[in-house]
A and B are shown apart, each in its own frame.
Chain A
Amino acid sequence: MAIEKDISRREFIKSSTALTTGLVVSFYLPRADAKIVDRFEPGNAQDKFEANAFVIVKGDDTVVVLSKHLEMGQGVYTGLATIVTEELDCDWSKVTVEAAPADASRYNNLAFGPAQGTGGSTSIANSWHQLREAGATARAMLMMAAAKEWSAPLADIVTSNGQVFHHKSGRSLSYGQLVEAAKKTTAPKSVKLKSNQDFKHVGQNVIRKDGAEKVNGKAMYGMDLNLKDKVYALVLRAPLFGATLKTFDDVEAKKIKGVREIFRIPQGVVVIADHFWPAKMARDKILAKWDDEEALHKSTADIREEYKELLGKSGEIAATHGALAKSKEDAVQTVEATYEFPFLAHAPMETLNCVVQLEKEKCTLWTGDQFQTGDQMTVAKLTGLSPQKVIINTLMAGGSFGRRANSKSDYIAEAVEIAKATKTNSGRPIHVIWTREDDIRGGFYRPFFMHEVSAGLTAENKIAYWDHRLVGQSIMAGTAFDKGGIDHTSVEGLSNLAYDTESLQVELQSPKLQVPILWWRSVGHTHTAFSAETMIDELAHLAKIDPAQFRLIHLTKHPRRQEVLKQATLMANWGRKLPAGVGLGVAVHESFKSFVSQVVQVKVSGKTFKVEKVWCAIDCGIAVNPDNIKSQVEGAIGFALSAALNGEITLKDGHVEQSNFHDYRPIRIHDMPQVEVHIMASEADPTGVGEPGVPCLAPALANAIFAATGKRLRKLPLTLT
């Protein structure tokens, strides 16, 4: 097995900065590992050409693209297949996608450093050059093979749609027919990539590669894995964050037919049963006593009071420019506001679950894993095995929104603890399943945040100063991504505020709290975009300048923001006369290197309101799969709307008050507005798509409600009182 050294981010950038489309490029591309690839098709190792770690051409002309990224709905399988198909020049209808194994030596996310994982809307962006090169290299090797077969000069060989041609002699072979010959070639040191204007697949609307299997029930999610001798496990976890198990009584639980074993692990009491239902019935009957002396007993109201007090103190400076005190003096009009953002659960539709099989020499996991090599290290540590002996099979995930990527590997570590502690089920595949209640009450929320902003205008209606304080837990603290100092994800979107200001100051306090927290689709932008984009709206009104115009005046250094803003307002026919009770609001924000502007139309009746329509312009560089980008933006708008309307996890004496979809309520079909998405034409390399559609929705909605009612809402979820 050839383990090649990984390509560090810096090396990648170095080798790719000289790279523009149409030029010859050369950089490191990891090789395939036949042993791992074979797991997809045992006994059929002969009839395929593994060009590299990402591309396999088979004798039957099919092409397998190996995805180092988790498919969790964002369409990455289709995107990666598109990129490979473009450069390999193969037949799109014969391309399938498989999950790559967990392997830090070959499948790193080039935006993360030496770790394989999916997040930060980086999948297409970090794969763009890598997979183009993977496809182009495979194509070059097939051409070399044909040239040799036909004793023809390489320069006379061309390809088209999965075939190699030598026009002079009228000969042709399909890629599949060249598999044997291609195996004998060596990858060229450099390959020529296509010019953008020659793209045939990138930029086209295609049908998702995972579409068919997701409408007939065949798609295999972690939840669906059926293995011989598999048993089911549920865990009774502590009711308070930080509580630990004292004792438990399982007399009644043991009476349930199908229960195999009940025991304790650090996380709580485990029930293993033949099936899910007996495990669930038994778990409901366990009486546990918890030691809650060290546990969190606070209510949301207590946290609010503490954070309010902290807002009165100065924090660590996250950004500063200009002379704040002087600019404050220059200001002729000022506005002050306080904002509050609740804890939010991800609540992916497929609850967390993991199948683990711990044997003497290895540990195998099957799950919709979002952070493979981090989890691999965690499991290696827990089991004492080497990381190579920890096999992670990544299955499709029924959503994630960040929840399945956790540098604490929470649910995976727990599954391994169960496999370690079992006495009568060792060696068996154990499927640990979370119920929805486990999920909603299980923590790892978007942190509770409060902001306080004071801003002022000069006599010329320019922004004199912007003084912004934030209080909220740090997501990165104590993780592998912790660089010390300011947690960038707490202030992203504010510390780099795009609006021209004479003076800017952003101060952050990151108090510690026992509530486990995590990144949640668009991370810090979930709150920073709200305060920034509603405050700029307040300033516009103070200046008596149209809010879209006021933004444009203050975005002199940000042409891409200007363009999406102009486009979204154009689509919405901004400035038109509206019936009573109807309002339009706008927001513009950059996140994950993409630029988004949204206009929301809201209709207010009494204390209720309905979002009728959202217009969105997005600039995410080259649009690899335009229809998927639209779909992601539509979904992001619906996801953000759920949070804006209903999303709230609250604590009462330490207990999470919500438990399932009746009290933690994602929007339903009747809440979904019409959405129109425009993708800006671009020649820039692709940037993020999965998350950037989220941040603008809530502020644009709050601004629309202001336009309709004159009321400023500064607390999420948004309610008119």
Chain B
Amino acid sequence: MNTSAQTSTTVQVTFELNEKSVTVDVDPSTPLLWVIRDHLNLTGTKFGCGMAQCGVCTVHIDGVATRTCVTPIGSVAGRKVQTIEGIHDKVAQTVQKVWVEENVVQCGYCQSGQIMSAVALLRSNQKPTDSDIDKAMGGNLCRCATYARIRHAIHVAAERILKA
């Protein structure tokens, strides 16, 4: 194909990914999800729907759980992005550990997103109630329906973090 006919434009965007500064040169409409996966090779963040319905693409942007499939890269300039590969604090470690111990995962494909949402919840709410959990986790689908274990694991993790 004659690429000189390609008239669409790209832009340079610099942001912080898992505590490192990165710069990419892509079409400004490119969702952060595909920048993370295809350009920066971090594949723990998943694609599931592309329309903010399933939550498997969830990362933290400036600490807030965000659906990257509908976040154009242009809006991320200068911001701090954390993916499943980059969360290492006490809350994240506890959540991941409890998730393993409670055998939460089945296919696991939604679980990066579940964990990013759960970690964001537990960072802001040390003792979430069931309805807090429904609210914080309502955007994360699990086709394997591991929901009962997700709920239980969040309660167990909350308790463990409080005790520590």
Q: Which residues of A pack against B, CB within 8 Å?
A: 72-75, 207-208, 210-221, 223-224, 226, 232, 254-262, 275-278, 281, 347-351, 396-399, 401, 424, 433, 435-436, 627-628, 631-632, 634-639, 641-642, 660-662, 666-672, 674-675
A367 to B130, CA, bound (A): 38
Query: Among the listed B106, B111, B133, which residue makes an inter-chain contact with A635, where contact means beta carbons less than 8 Å apart?
Result: B106
Interface residues of B in 1-52 (CB under 8 A from A): 1, 3, 5-10, 26-27, 29-31, 34, 37-39, 41-51
With a 10 A CB-CB cut-off, give which of B3, B29, B48 has the most chain A CB atoms.
B48
**Residue of A at shortest CB range from B100?**
A211
A401 to B112, CA, bound (A): 21
Is there contact, CB below 8 Å, between A638 and B145?
yes
A349 touches B31 (CB 8 A): no
Q: Chain B binding site: helix, strand, loop or mixed by DSSP?
A: loop
The 4 closest A-B pairs by CB, nearest first: A217-B44, A638-B145, A398-B109, A73-B107
Residues on B with beta carbons closer than 8 Å to the beta carbon of A634: 145-146, 148-149
Q: Judging by beta carbons under 8 Å apart, are A218 and B44 in contact?
A: yes
Taking the nearest CB of chain A, how far is it from the CB of B160, in angstroms?
15
A600 → chain B, closest Cβ, in Å? 15
**Distance of A662 Cα from B99 Cα, bound (Å):** 28
**Are A642 and B5 also in contact (CB < 8 A) when A348-B107, A670-B134 are?**
no
CB distance from B128 to the nearest CB of A (A): 12
Name the contact of A668 in the complex, choosing from B5, B50, B138 (C-beta under 8 A): B138
Contact A399 B5 (CB under 8 A): no
**Is A217's CB under 8 angstroms from B45's CB?**
yes
Distance A208 CA – B144 CA, assembled complex (angstroms): 15
CA–CA, A275 and B40, complex, Å: 12
Contact A226 B43 (CB under 8 A): yes
Alpha-carbon gap, A350 to B143, bound state (A): 10
Which residues of the other chain, B, contact A221 by a CB distance below 8 angstroms?
46, 109
Shortest C-beta distance, A635 to chain B (Å), equals 5
- Chain B 95-120 against A: per-residue CB contact (8 Å), 1 yes, 0 no? 01001110111111111100100000
Do the beta carbons of A349 and B105 come within 8 Å of each other? no
Is B85 an interface residue, CB under 8 A from the partner? yes
In the complex where A277-B31, A349-B141, A669-B140 touch, is A660 in contact with B49 (Cβ < 8 A)?
A: yes
Since A628-B103, A634-B146 are in contact, a sample of 5 more A-B pairs with Cβ atoms closer than 8 Å, ordered by chain A residue number, is: A73-B108, A256-B6, A631-B103, A639-B143, A662-B53
B105→A215 contact, CB < 8 A: yes
- 7 contacts across the A-B interface (CB closer than 8 A): A220-B43, A223-B46, A349-B143, A398-B110, A638-B146, A666-B141, A672-B151
- Residue contact A254 to B6, C-beta cutoff 8 Å: yes
Q: Is the CB of B137 within 8 A of A73?
A: no
B91 contacts partner chain A, Cβ-Cβ < 8 Å? no
User: Taking A223-B43, A226-B43, A398-B108 as contacts, is the C-beta distance between A349 and B51 under 8 angstroms?
Assistant: no
Contact indicator A255/B5 (Cβ below 8 Å): yes
Q: Give, as a whole number of angstroms, the nearest-CB distance from A208 to chain B.
A: 5
Given known A-B contacts A73-B107, A669-B138, A217 and B84 have beta carbons under 8 A apart: yes
A207-B103, A275-B39 known; A216-B147 Cβ under 8 A:
no
Closest to A640 in B: B145
Q: Is the CB of A212 within 8 A of B109?
A: no
B147 near A669: Cβ-Cβ < 8 Å: yes
Q: Which A-chain residue is minimally distant from B151 (CB atoms)?
A: A669
Return B84 CB to nearest CB of chain A, in Å: 4
B145, A397: Cβ atoms under 8 Å?
no
CB contacts (< 8 Å) of B10 on chain A: these are 257
Does B54 have its Cβ within 8 Å of any Cβ on chain A? yes
B→A interface (CB under 8 Å): 1, 3, 5-10, 26-27, 29-31, 34, 37-39, 41-51, 53-54, 56, 83-85, 96, 99-101, 103-112, 115, 133-134, 137-138, 140-151
- Please report the C-alpha to C-alpha distance between residue A207 and residue B46 in the assembled complex, in whole angstroms: 24
Chain B residues, CB < 8 A from A399: 106-107, 109, 143-144
Taken together as a complex, chains A and B put the C-alpha atoms of A211 and B97 apart, in Å, by: 10
Of all chain A residues, the one with the shortest Cβ separation from B116 is: A217
Question: In the assembled complex, which residues on chain B have CB atoms less than 8 Å from the CB atom of A281?
Answer: 8, 27, 29
Query: Which of the residues A256, A277, A631 comes within 8 Å of B34, measured between beta carbons?
Result: A277
Highest count of chain B CB atoms <10 Å: which of A211, A232, A281, A666: A211
A residues near B137, Cβ cutoff 8 Å: 669
In the complex the two chains form, is B34's CB within 8 Å of A275's CB? yes
Q: How far is the CA of A668 from the CA of B137 in the complex (A)?
A: 8
Instruction: Contact check, A349 vs B110: say whether CB atoms are below 8 A apart.
Output: yes
Known contacts A216-B44, A275-B34, A281-B27: A259-B107 contact under CB 8 Å = no
Docked Cα-Cα span, A74 to B27, in Å, equals 39
User: What residues on A are CB-neighbors of B29 within 8 Å?
Assistant: 277, 281
Task: List, in ascending order, chain A residues with CB within 8 A of B138's CB.
Answer: 668-670
- Determine the distance from Cα of A424 to Cα of B2 in the docked complex, in whole angstroms: 11
List chain B residues, Cβ under 8 A from A424: 1
Q: Is the CB of A661 within 8 A of B54?
A: yes
Residues of B within 8 A of A639 (CB): 143-145
On whether the beta carbons of B103 and A660 are closer than 8 Å, the reply is no
Q: Which residues of A contact B44 (CB under 8 A)?
A: 216-218
B46 surroundings in chain A (CB, below 8 A)? 221, 223, 349-350, 398
Contacts of A670 in B (CB 8 A): 134, 138
Contact between B54 and A349 (Cβ–Cβ < 8 Å)?
yes
Tell me the nearest residue of chain B to A254, going by C-beta: B5
Chain A residue at minimal CB-CB distance from B99: A215
Neighbouring B residues of A635 by C-beta, 8 Å: 106, 144-146
Q: Which of A216, A223, A259, A671 contacts B6 (CB 8 A)?
A: A259
With A and B bound together, what is the CA distance between A656 and B42 in angstroms?
34
CB distance from A269 to the nearest CB of B (A): 14
Query: Cβ of B140: which chain A residues have Cβ within 8 Å of it?
Result: 668-669
Residues of B near A256 (CB, < 8 A) are 6, 8, 27
Q: How far is the CA of A187 from the CA of B31 in the complex (A)?
A: 56
Q: Considering the chains assembled together, what is the distance between the CA atoms of A675 and B56 in angstroms?
A: 24
- Contact (Cβ within 8 A) B48 A349: yes
Please give me the residue from chain B that is nearest to A75 by CB atom.
B106
Which single member of B107, B110, B112, B148 contacts A674 (CB below 8 Å)?
Answer: B148
- A638 with B147: CB separation less than 8 A: yes
Decide if A217 touches B83 in the complex (CB within 8 Å).
Answer: yes
Q: Could you tell me the distance between the alpha carbons of A638 and B145 in the complex, rounded to whole angstroms? A: 5
Question: In the assembled complex, which residues on chain B have CB atoms less than 8 Å from the CB atom of A636?
Answer: 145
The CB with the most chain B CB atoms within 10 A, among A72, A667, A668, is that of: A668
Q: Is A436 touching B107 in the complex (CB atoms < 8 A)?
A: no
Contact in complex: A669, B133 (CB < 8 Å)? yes
**B residues within 8 A CB of A401?**
143
In the bound complex, do residue B103 and residue A208 qualify as a contact, i.e. CB atoms below 8 Å apart?
Answer: yes
Residue in A closest to B139 when the chains form the complex, CB atoms: A668
Q: Which residue of A lies closest to B106 (CB)?
A: A73
Known contacts A210-B105, A397-B107, A399-B107, A217 near B85 by CB under 8 Å:
yes
Cβ of A457 to closest chain B Cβ, rounded Å: 38
* Chain B residues positioned under 8 Å from A351 (CB to CB): 47-48
Cα(A211)–Cα(B46), bound, Å: 17
Please measure, in the bound complex, the distance between the C-alpha atom of A278 and the C-alpha atom of B100, giving whole angstroms: 37
> Are the C-beta atoms of A669 and B150 separated by less than 8 Å?
yes
Partner of A348, one of B38, B42, B96, B143: B143
What is the chain B residue whose CB lies nearest that of A663? B53
Contact B27 A216 (CB under 8 A): no
Q: Is the CB of A277 within 8 A of B27?
A: yes
Q: Which one of B34, B51, B111, B150 contacts A660 once the chains associate, using CB atoms below 8 Å?
A: B51
Asked, given contacts A255-B5, A634-B146, whether A224 binds B43 with beta carbons under 8 Å apart, the answer is: yes
- Of A72, A232, A631, the residue contacting B146 (CB under 8 A) is A631
Q: Is the CB of B1 within 8 A of A261?
A: yes
A350 and B144 within 8 A (CB) = no
Chain A residues with CB under 8 A of B144: 73, 349, 399, 635, 638-639
